[in-house]
Structure 1
Amino acid sequence: MSSRTRTVSGAFQSYIQGLFQAPRGTQLRMSEGMETDSQALNHLLTEASVDWKGLTGEIARQADALLGGDDSALILDESAFAKKGQASAGVARQWKGRLGKVDNAQVGVFSALCRGRRVTLLDSRLYLPKSWVEDE
Structure 2
Amino acid sequence: MWASELEEALLRVGHRFGRADPRRRMRAYVHGLLAPVGRKSSWQLAEHAAHGTPHGLQNLLNRARWDAAGVRDDVQAYVTEQLGEDDGVLVIDETGFLKQRETSAGAQRQYSGTVGRAKNCQVAVFAACASSRGRTLVDREVYLPKSWTSDRERCQAAKVPVGRGFATKAELARVLVARARSSPLPFPWVTADALYGQDGHFRRMLEEAELGYVRAVAKSQQVNRTMAACGPRAGQPGRCRADQALTCPTGAAVIRPPPDTANTNAARTVTNNRHMTVRQFTTRKKMLLNSGNSELQLEY
Query: Where on the TM-score scale, by shorter chain, does this alignment land: which range?
Result: 0.7 to 0.9
Which secondary structure does the structure 2 equivalent of 1:56 belong to? helix
1:12 aligns with 2:9: no
CA distance in 1, matches of 2:96, 2:52: 32
CA distance in 1, matches of 2:96, 2:57: 27
Question: What's the counterpart of residue 29 of structure 1?
Answer: 44
Structure 1 residues 74, 31: CA separation in 2 closer, same or farther (over 3 Å shift)?
Answer: same
Contact 1:113 1:120 in 2 (8 A): yes
Structure 2: gaps spanning 5 or more residues: 1-17, 153-300
1:60 aligns with 2:76: yes
Deviations 1:41-83 (A, max 9, x none): 2442344221111111000011011112210111111113455
Identity within the alignment, %: 34
Of 34-43 and 69-78, the range deviating more from structure 2:
34-43
CA distance in 1, matches of 2:123, 2:49: 30
Deviations 1:15-64 (A, max 9, x none): 12223333223222111132655343244234422111111100001101
Q: So what's the TM-score if we normalise by structure 2?
A: 0.38
How far off is 1:86 after superposition? 3.3
Counterpart selection for 1:130 from 126, 142, 146:
146
Structure 1 residues 29, 96: CA separation in 2 closer, same or farther (over 3 Å shift)?
Answer: closer
CA distance in 1, matches of 2:119, 2:56: 37
Which secondary structure does the structure 2 equivalent of 1:10 belong to? helix
Structure 1 residues 26, 100: CA separation in 2 closer, same or farther (over 3 Å shift)?
Answer: closer
1:91 aligns with 2:91: no
Structure 1 residues 45, 92: CA separation in 2 closer, same or farther (over 3 Å shift)?
Answer: closer
Count of aligned positions: 132
Counterpart selection for 1:73 from 85, 89, 92:
89
Question: What's the counterpart of residue 49 of structure 1?
Answer: 65
Which amino acid in structure 1 is aligned with residue 132 of structure 2? Answer: G
Structure 1 residues 120, 87: CA separation in 2 closer, same or farther (over 3 Å shift)?
Answer: same
CA distance in 2, matches of 1:54, 1:114: 22
CA distance in 2, matches of 1:132, 1:81: 17
Which amino acid in structure 1 is aligned with residue 43 of structure 2? Answer: L
Greater strand share, 1 or 2?
A: 1
1:119 aligns with 2:135: yes
CA RMSD of aligned residues (A): 2.8
Q: So what's the TM-score if we normalise by structure 1?
A: 0.76
- Larger RCO (alpha carbons 8 Å, 6+ apart): 1
Deviations 1:86-127 (A, max 9, x none): 344312343445676655442121111101361111122321
Structure 1 residues 125, 37: CA separation in 2 closer, same or farther (over 3 Å shift)?
Answer: farther
Structure number with larger C-alpha Rg: 2
CA distance in 1, matches of 2:101, 2:59: 28
